[in-house]
Amino acid sequence: MGQSASNPLGGGRVKLEERMQRARATGVLSLQNLNLSKAPVQIADLKTLRSLSLRNNKISEIPVEFAQLVALKTLHLDSNAIANLPDVLSNLKKLETLTLTQNALVHVPRCILSLNKLKQIDLSHNKLTVVPAQLLKLPNLEVCNLSHNKITQLPDECDECNLAELNVGYNQLTTLPASLTKCPKLKVLRCEHNNIALGGIPNALLADSSISLLVTENNPVTAAELQQLPGYEAYSQRYTNVKKKGD
């Protein structure tokens, strides 16, 4: 049975109202894998909702009313057809986790740049070409996944970010900015499957950064060339120290 205005989940499934009633008690609402073409506006009535998943639907737009979900900490919008987010979602001041992998984004939605509590973001598998410095410098952002896009360069002004892990693999990068050296918490930098040659990796990134895992497979630069760079020994020592702690 198809969707209807009264029951956007289809007559054969638990009604939206019943799911929302449970969500009022639990603070968690999952509407994933339901073939939805629109996000139900009624969700905005759940003022105490902490976690919302709309994964794997056919949603192209998020209602502006979702800005009323001021208690939301986790929002999963993966595998839809979303090209942008409403500016008013900057009102989600408590949001800590946002996933938008496998959508239709061509730029980072402006509202995201105001989400100062954000800890994890996944924008992989989109069509991004530019990364705003403001994204990487969000004060609480720890994990940022920008892999599988069309990014050609990272901003020079990404110094002093608080990232612990940055994934920019499977893009079109030719260089890595030296300013990443000044990110004191950055431990993991994944940049495999790009167009980075030996001259695109600053020596300081190896010698003076906190990075203990640098993934560079499937770039023009070879492992043997990397090992010849000044600073590789310092990087290798950090890598070994972390590996020992994990063993």
CA atoms within 13 A on the CB side of 152: 1
Q: How many domains does the chain have?
A: 1
In a domain, 59, yes or no: yes
Q: Is the pLDDT of residue 10 over 70?
A: no
| Long-range contacts of the stretch 56-63 (C-beta < 8 A, 24+) | 56/32, 56/80, 57/31, 57/32, 57/33, 60/104, 62/86, 62/89, 63/39
**What is residue 11's predicted lDDT score, i.e. its pLDDT?**
46
CB distance 36 to 59 below 8 Å: yes
Residues 110 and 132: their CA atoms lie apart, in Å, by: 10
On whether residue 27 sits in a domain, the answer given is yes
The whole-number pLDDT of residue 3 equals 43
11 domain-assigned: no
Q: Which spans in 93-214 are helix H?
A: 133-136, 203-207
Whether 217 is in a domain gets the answer: yes
Domain membership flag for residue 8: no
What is the rounded distance in angstroms from the CA atom of residue 46 to the CA atom of residue 130? 34
Per-residue pLDDT tens digits for 127-174: 999 999 999 999 999 999 999 999 999 999 988 899 999 999 999 999
- Give a yes or no: residue 146 inside a domain: yes
Nearest to 140 by CA among 82, 98, 100: 98
Q: Answer yes or no: is 1 within a domain.
A: no
66: domain CATH number is 3.80.10.10
- Return d(Cα 214, Cα 223) in angstroms, integer: 11
Domain of residue 112 covers 16-246
What gap in Å lies between CA 21 and CA 15, rounded to an integer?
A: 10
Tell me the per-residue pLDDT of 48-78, one tens digit each, with 9 for 90 and over: 999 999 999 999 999 999 999 999 999 999 9
What is the pTM for the complete model shown?
0.93
Question: What would you report as the CA-atom Rg of the chain, rounded to the nearest whole angstrom?
Answer: 21
